A and B are shown apart, each in its own frame.
Chain A
């Protein structure tokens, strides 16, 4: 199954590329808007801060290319910051607009427990991404921000209160955790995405 991994100048995408391949993806790694626009399946990796990532997406016209692909019924998976970019806006470094593909806000995860959250946390998921993944399976997280209680939520976890661990709106998916660092469970989620049709 062909998957386009959106290349990023900031992020180390080697591990997500390797994990997607291990999950059965025939991978095209590119930042070319035309190639992205004509893709059937897209992966948007996490890239540094929310603001830097949005800047990069618009600057390189990847934003518009992704929308074009989605209009053509493409599937999209956002990972970590890539997942956060799907929402309306984020409070990281002042409110910044996101891609607005999924309704909801991304806010600081701050609370009594230290941020960033670093490590495994149990995820309670439903829907096609979590097919074959039992509820309460741990996934690996590294995040200081997260969406909470959004309508498109397909998985939750708890850190300073419940937060959105994954979303699904139509063919657009997002996971706050790092599937590429989550061993067999992470590969299963990626395999489920790669197999989506």
Chain B
């Protein structure tokens, strides 16, 4: 999948409008400066929007576009192309492709003329969608044709690629419209250029995995440095090689697996070793064992349980709950844990993260963040701190945590789905992996946590214990949705 940086031009400068309001334009500088600052590699595609052109209905920024097209860039331009003459003026500037919006949706004859005059591969129809309906004229009104009709038209003309923007998600950083692109995957053979909602390189990876998205236009996220082109390239390069993980969680108390809703109302769910062995057989990529009694009263049975579980599996084991010191950390590693999750003690004394990372290695340190209402909690979700969960995760990364186990206490045990907003807030700012936890109820929830939430692993406890879903079923579903699994 190609990443296409997008520049909105107004009066010769790169700007960004809020809600299409020209008075609100924020200026980022000359296009050349912006391209250099964004480190756009040579040979890239570049998406240019002529804002004044789209307002006035005729090409305006032709001189700048001519200059950009002379560089080693494949330029596509949009904004106010309403006739064959407009199109020709842009092509005379050295533009490779023309992005046509209103025309594609409302003027099939002109669209056909543009295709027959300049070739199908040089025309990129832009389709703006809100709630499944195509919108035109600066999103002001519904198009005459339905989404289905517009795409049938595009396909019939032999146009290979169309730019699709979900207006509902554009610019608000709530994530790309994966559902819309997935819907279009079965509805049309046309490849999609996704636009809108991208706020992290994880979003780009998820778009690439859909299969029918050949490119993605990003503007705001690049300008605000939420996405770095080099990092995005590196993530995309391994997007199929590195499988996403499904992790069953064993909540253990006094040597038994237990389960509860929102950390309350506990009941027995079996022997940890039996569960662990079954989970590995089902294809679990890792196990998390959380001692939920330990924060209240430390138990030596925990170490014995860890030893027994570690001795029965051949996948990595992460253990958490009641880790107060480096000594506790060391004991758990000696008992067979590969990684140790710390929460309460780290919140009370953040330096513990750095000390453990130095002594045991970054890979061994997992920050467990139990978030409730956006704040980190301690003592198994019972006590809310004044610490912002997202800021805390960022801090933990700086201190040397290797991964974050992010649990939504609000969602835990509800089966309503992972807290996607919380996940996006964290995965959008940290580079280390995030394990999504709390709220899994259906297979789709696991997909959404990875695809939209940007999680690198998904965790569930009661769902797997109760055999409502097996680890294998979840992985099969993820694979069918284009998410690589082991």
A138 lies within 8 A of B238 (CB) = no
B315 lies within 8 A of A118 (CB) = no
Complex formed: what's the CA distance from A148 to B336 in Å?
Answer: 31
Complex formed: what's the CA distance from A12 to B332 in Å?
Answer: 12
A142 lies within 8 A of B310 (CB) = no
B230 lies within 8 A of A119 (CB) = no
Interfacial chain A residues near B233, Cβ < 8 Å:
112
A183 lies within 8 A of B245 (CB) = no
Size band of the B side of the interface?
A: 20 to 34
For residue B311, CB closer than 8 A to chain A, the reply is yes
Interfacial chain B residues near A180, Cβ < 8 Å:
314
A181 lies within 8 A of B314 (CB) = yes
Within the complex, the shortest CB–CB distance from B360 to chain A, in Å, comes to 10
Within the complex, the shortest CB–CB distance from A93 to chain B, in Å, comes to 14
Within the complex, the shortest CB–CB distance from B450 to chain A, in Å, comes to 14
Within the complex, the shortest CB–CB distance from B279 to chain A, in Å, comes to 11
For residue B26, CB closer than 8 A to chain A, the reply is no
For residue B168, CB closer than 8 A to chain A, the reply is no
Q: Write out, one digit per residue, whether chain B residues 303-316 have a CB within 8 A of any chain A CB (1) or not (0).
A: 00000001100111
A112 lies within 8 A of B234 (CB) = yes
Complex formed: what's the CA distance from A119 to B456 in Å?
Answer: 10
B433 lies within 8 A of A140 (CB) = no
Complex formed: what's the CA distance from A15 to B335 in Å?
Answer: 10
Contact of B363 among A118, A138, A157, A182 (CB under 8 A): A118
A122 lies within 8 A of B242 (CB) = yes
For residue B92, CB closer than 8 A to chain A, the reply is no
B334 lies within 8 A of A18 (CB) = no
Q: Write out, one digit per residue, whether chain B residues 400-433 have a CB within 8 A of any chain A CB (1) or not (0).
A: 0011000000000000000000000000000111
Closest to A123 in B: B241
A15 lies within 8 A of B241 (CB) = no
Assuming the contacts A116-B402, A158-B237, A183-B314, asked whether A121 and B336 have C-beta atoms less than 8 A apart, the reply is: no
Assuming the contacts A18-B311, A180-B314, A187-B314, asked whether A112 and B241 have C-beta atoms less than 8 A apart, the reply is: no
For residue B231, CB closer than 8 A to chain A, the reply is yes
Interfacial chain B residues near A157, Cβ < 8 Å:
241
Assuming the contacts A120-B243, A120-B245, A121-B242, asked whether A19 and B314 have C-beta atoms less than 8 A apart, the reply is: yes
Interfacial chain B residues near A12, Cβ < 8 Å:
333-334, 336
Contact of B336 among A15, A111, A159 (CB under 8 A): A15
Within the complex, the shortest CB–CB distance from A180 to chain B, in Å, comes to 6
Within the complex, the shortest CB–CB distance from A118 to chain B, in Å, comes to 5
Q: Write out, one digit per residue, whether chain A residues 17-41 have a CB within 8 A of any chain B CB (1) or not (0).
A: 0110010000000000000000000
Within the complex, the shortest CB–CB distance from B106 to chain A, in Å, comes to 43
Interfacial chain A residues near B285, Cβ < 8 Å:
120
Complex formed: what's the CA distance from A187 to B235 in Å?
Answer: 29
Interface SS majority for chain A: mixed
A159 lies within 8 A of B238 (CB) = yes
For residue B278, CB closer than 8 A to chain A, the reply is no
Interface SS majority for chain B: loop
For residue A160, CB closer than 8 A to chain B, the reply is yes
Contact of B362 among A116, A119, A159, A182 (CB under 8 A): A116
Interfacial chain A residues near B315, Cβ < 8 Å:
140, 181-183
For residue B338, CB closer than 8 A to chain A, the reply is yes
For residue B486, CB closer than 8 A to chain A, the reply is yes
B432 lies within 8 A of A113 (CB) = no
A22 lies within 8 A of B314 (CB) = yes
Interfacial chain A residues near B280, Cβ < 8 Å:
183
Assuming the contacts A18-B311, A120-B486, A181-B315, asked whether A158 and B238 have C-beta atoms less than 8 A apart, the reply is: yes
Complex formed: what's the CA distance from A136 to B242 in Å?
Answer: 10
B234 lies within 8 A of A142 (CB) = no
Interfacial chain A residues near B402, Cβ < 8 Å:
116, 118
Interfacial chain B residues near A138, Cβ < 8 Å:
243, 486
B243 lies within 8 A of A122 (CB) = yes
Could you give 30 example pairs across A and B, Cβ below 8 Å? Answer: A12-B336, A14-B310, A15-B314, A18-B311, A111-B234, A112-B233, A113-B235, A114-B431, A114-B432, A116-B361, A116-B362, A116-B363, A118-B402, A118-B403, A118-B433, A119-B242, A119-B433, A120-B242, A120-B245, A120-B486, A121-B241, A122-B241, A136-B241, A140-B315, A142-B363, A158-B241, A159-B242, A181-B316, A181-B338, A184-B314
Contacts A118-B362, A183-B280 known; list 12 others, CB within 8 Å: A15-B336, A116-B361, A116-B402, A118-B433, A119-B245, A120-B243, A120-B285, A121-B238, A121-B242, A136-B241, A142-B361, A181-B314
Q: Which 3 A-B pairs have the closest CB atoms?
A: A112-B234, A138-B486, A142-B363
